[in-house]
Structure 1
Amino acid sequence: MEWTLEVVPVPVTDIDKAKRFYAEQVGFTVDHDTRQGETRIVQLTPPGSGCSIVIGTVVTMEPGSLRGVQLVVPDIEAARARLLEGGVDAGRVHHFEESGPVDGPGGRWNSFVNFSDPDGNQWVVQESPADR
């Protein structure tokens, strides 16, 4: 039996502002923006991903409480450049050593960039090895 992760809820205060951030600044595709009465659901998908995020009135977590959801990319420098071009305040490329985080790329699966959305939800971008 396969179990696939399809949707991650992201808690936000302003649905339209978050939709613009994820679509226009980060580069996610807007799959749908559905309204029915007081209910609104916006689903967005990162390029190439089989998993989407959902923002809207159905998300009941505290805005800004999401921590550490990872996006995996083949080129961490290109991903950071894309975020910066979109106006996202992306952190420096870093990796981890025994002493903690260190600036610069690391070895296999050990290069990261962090960013947050306007509500403070924290994301991690990780570089995958070329031979993945």
Structure 2
Amino acid sequence: MDWRLELVPVPVADVERAKRFYSEQLGFAVDHDMSVGGGVRIVQLTPPGSGCSIVIGGGEGVTDGDPGSVQGLQLVVPDIAAARAQLVERGVAAGPVQHVENGALADGPGGPWNSFVYFRDPDGNGWALQERPGAN
């Protein structure tokens, strides 16, 4: 039996602002955007090449989390420098390429699975890009 993680709720304060950030600045595809009544709006977005989507929404029933409370979401990319450049070009305040060394973050790329770029959405939800081995 397969157990697949396919949808992660991300709490946001302003659905329209978050939709613009994820679709226009990060390049996520908008899978659907619907109102289900009672002031509930659900927007599902998927990163390019991913089998897992995020859902943002307004109203009861989407997520009980506070906007900005989700931390540690991670996207894996084949080229960390190119991915960071794309984010910066699209107006995302992305940090520098870093790696973990002696238990702390250090500037520059690291070895396999050890190159990261960190950024936040407009609500403060924390994301990381990670470069996968053999990508370059």
Query: Is the TM-score greater than 0.5?
Result: yes
Aligned to 1:20: 20
- Taking the aligned partners of 1:34 and 1:59, their CA distance within structure 2 comes to 16
Please tell me whether residue 111 in structure 1 is matched to residue 115 in structure 2: yes
User: Which segments of 5 or more consecutive residues in structure 1 lack a partner in the other structure?
Assistant: none
Name the SS of the counterpart of 2:72 in structure 1: strand
Query: RMSD of aligned C-alpha atoms?
Result: 0.9
**Which secondary structure does the structure 2 equivalent of 1:67 belong to?**
coil
For these two proteins, the number of residue pairs brought into alignment is: 131
Task: Report the CA distance between 1:99 and its aligned residue.
Answer: 4.6
Q: Distance in 1 between matches of 2:90 and 2:5?
A: 27
Q: Which runs of 4+ in 1 moved over 2 A?
A: none
Structure 2 residue identity aligned to 1:68: G
Number of the residue aligned with 2:48 = 47
User: What TM-score, normalized by structure 1, do the two folds share?
Assistant: 0.96
1:28-59 deviation line (CA, Å, top 9, x unaligned): 01000011212110000000000000000312
Counterpart of 2:126 (choices 116, 122, 126) is: 122
The offset of 1:60, in angstroms, is: 1.6
- Mapped to 2, the partners of 1:113 and 1:79 lie a distance apart of 9
Q: Does 1:93 align with 2:105?
A: no
Letter in 2 for 1:90: A
